[in-house]
Structure 1
C-alpha cells in the first residue's frame, strides 16, 4: 500500500471522526469542517443529512413516537441520526478521494500525450 493510500485513508477517517464528534457533541462546527473538507461532494452529503432526518422521523413515526413528553428527541432517533450523518460524510470523503484519483490519473494521461 503506497503512501498516497495511507493519506487518503487518513483523510476519510478524519472526515468520519469529525462528523461523529459533531453528532455526539451537537456542535455544528465539526459538521461544517466535514462539509468543507469534502467539497463539492460535502454539499450533497449536507443535503442528505436533512433527507435522512426526514426519512428517519417519518418511518420511525409509524412504529413509535418521535418526540418525548418534554419535547426532546428519543434516544433511537438521536443515535440513528448520528450514525446516518457519519456515514453520509464518510461516503462523501470516499467519493472525494475517488474523484481526486480520477482527475490525477486523467491529468497524467493528458501530459503523456
Structure 2
C-alpha cells in the first residue's frame, strides 16, 4: 500500500472517530468537523443521519419505548444512533476518497501528451 493509501485510510479513520465522538459526547462540533472534512459528500451524510434517526425511532417504537421515564432516550436508541452516524460518516469519507481518486485519475489522463 502506497503513501496515498495510508493517508486515505487515516482520513477515513479520523472522520469515523469524529462521528463516534460526536455521538458519544453529544457534541455537535465533532459532527460539524466530520461534515466539513467530507465535503462535498458530507451534507448528504448529515441528511442521512436525520433519516436514520427517524427510522430507528419509528421501527424501534414498534417493539419498545423510545423515551425513558425521565424523558431521555433509552440506551438502545443512543447506541444505535452512534453506530448509524459513525457508519454514515465513514461511508461519506470513503465516497470522498473515491471521488478524489477519480478526479486525480482524470487529471493525469488529460495531462498526458
Separation in structure 1 between the aligned mates of residue 69 and residue 14 of structure 2, nearest angstrom: 37
1: CA distance between counterparts of 2:75 and 2:13?
Answer: 25
Give the equivalent residue in structure 1 for 2:47: 47
- Taking structure 1 as the reference length, the TM-score comes to 0.99
Q: Deviations along 1:10-53, whole A, 9 cap, x unmatched? A: 00000000100111001100000000000110000000000000
Q: Under a length normalisation based on structure 2, what TM-score does the superposition of the two structures give?
A: 0.99
Distance 2:19 2:51 in 1: 16
1:100 matched residue in structure 2: 100
The CA distance in 2 between the partners of 1:66 and 1:49, in whole Å, is 17
**Runs of 4 or more off by more than 4 Å in structure 1?**
none
Aligned to 1:37: 37
- Structure 1 residue 69 displacement after superposition: 1.2
RMSD: 0.5
2:68 paired residue number: 68
When the two structures are aligned, how many residues end up with a matched partner?
113
Aligned partner of 1:78 in structure 2 is 78
